[in-house]
Structure 1
Amino acid sequence: MAIGLLGNKIGMTQIFDESGNIIPVTIIKVGPCTVTQIKTILKDGYNAIQIGYTEVSSTSLTQPELGHLRKSNIKPLRYLKEFRLNENIENIKIGQVLDVNSFSIGQRVNIQGKSIGKGFSGLQKRHNFTRGPMTHGSKNHRAPGSIGMGTTPGRVLPGKKMAGQLGNKITTVKKLKVIQTNIDENILVLKGSVPGKPGNLLSIVPFE
């Protein structure tokens, strides 16, 4: 069953295949995750499961969060995420533990996480704008230039590409191939890169 899991990015390295080719890989610590809630079409209008990740002390959560987990006799968990499912979910039970066994070598997965924040960036770095001429007396090198019309409409239209914060946004990388799995350590090795720095929280969902 295609169920998403949560994990943390450990970092990148490289491995060699049987032919001696170098494969750039990312190592992810996946789960174990606990099923904290089950939603059904009959009760909620759609099928989904909510999973929790990373045990914490009860003082780290709010009273509503603690109450939600205590209702199912589950220890306090820092992260909760819901995954919608199209198939039958009768085989899933509240409190069930999901781990890296959910994935197999050669499988394709989508990875979602927050990208690295790069602070306030200009137009060339943020939107790949072309700079102005550097010679012949030009004083427009990296300036934004005109940002709108004059009297009509007399304002800057929404969505205008301008300087601002770069990165620190939810990003998805699709169809990454599972190269290796380590059941004992709950390690997933994927070909390619994933969003964020080491330690970043990631959502791993099978590609369908």
Structure 2
Amino acid sequence: MIRWYLQLVLLLLLLLFQQPSSSSPLTPSNPSTPSNPSNPLTPSTPSTPYRLHRTHDSLYHLNDFRLPYPVYRFCTGDVDGDGTTDALVGVIKNTRFHREKGRRIFIFKQVDGKPRPLWMGSKLGGILQDFRYLPPADSTLTRKGTIRSLETTTDHRYVVAEYQWEGFGLAFQRFLIKNTDKETALKKFNE
């Protein structure tokens, strides 16, 4: 009990005296161009209603919504096909069913001008490494975009898969490539 209390006090002191490393808002990557893997939080679309503010390495705010996790990806697009822009935020955290920290996807919707969770995913098919949003190829057929994922398997092979919104969550659509090396998977992921 005392050890836990001391750890909590130390954490609070660190948070109290740590200077924010960035106070400028970050806007998502442009959904019509491939995400920039070297800097996934690079501002490039000023017209989005979402702003991601970094307080420190494990505290972000999506507008007024507190995200107490490290963020590795931020992009926007119409995930559910309702004609409005959604925010996709990649966070690193554990979940109730997956105790190890891992990369997760959170999807937010604007409700009364504020971001609210639409889906806070715990896992896709494999071990998520990265994702990106792709707008629909033909908007006359569907307004829903696609989420392309780069995943690994338990035997350290790579897959690239695509998912779309179905009712309540992301549904697997297809593999673009599977059982491959990292370099080949990254090429397919960025196409």
Same fold (TM over 0.5): no
TM-score (norm 1): 0.25
TM-score, length of structure 2 as denominator length: 0.27
